Amino acid sequence: MLTGIPADLGSGPVRLRFERIVPGDPLLGLVPFYRFKVLDTNGDEVGHINLRIGATRHVTMTAGHIGYEILPEYRGASYSYHACLAMAPFIRLHYDRVILTVDPENAPSMRIIEKLGAKFINETEVPIDDPAYAKGARRKRRYEWVF
Measured CA to CA, the distance from residue 70 to residue 88 in angstroms comes to: 18
Q: Can you give the CATH number for the domain in which 50 is found?
A: 3.40.630.30
Q: What is the pLDDT of residue 1?
A: 46
The answer to whether position 2 is within a domain reads no
Query: Furthest-apart CA pair in the chain: how many Å?
Result: 43
Question: How many domains would you assign to the chain?
Answer: 1
Residue 31 is part of which domain span? Answer: 9-146
Look at residue 14 and give its three-state secondary structure: strand
* Beta-bridge mates of residue 99: 144
Mean pLDDT, consecutive 10-residue segments, the chain of 147 residues? Answer: 73 97 90 97 98 96 98 97 98 96 98 98 97 96 98
Residue 133 in domain: yes
Task: Return the pLDDT at 79.
Answer: 98
Confidence (pTM) = 0.93
What's the rounded Cα separation, in Å, for the pair 36 and 48?
Answer: 6
Whether 3 maps to a domain, the answer reads no
Residues 106 and 85: beta-carbon distance below 8 Å? no
pLDDT at 142: 99
The CA distance from 119 to 4, in Å, is: 29
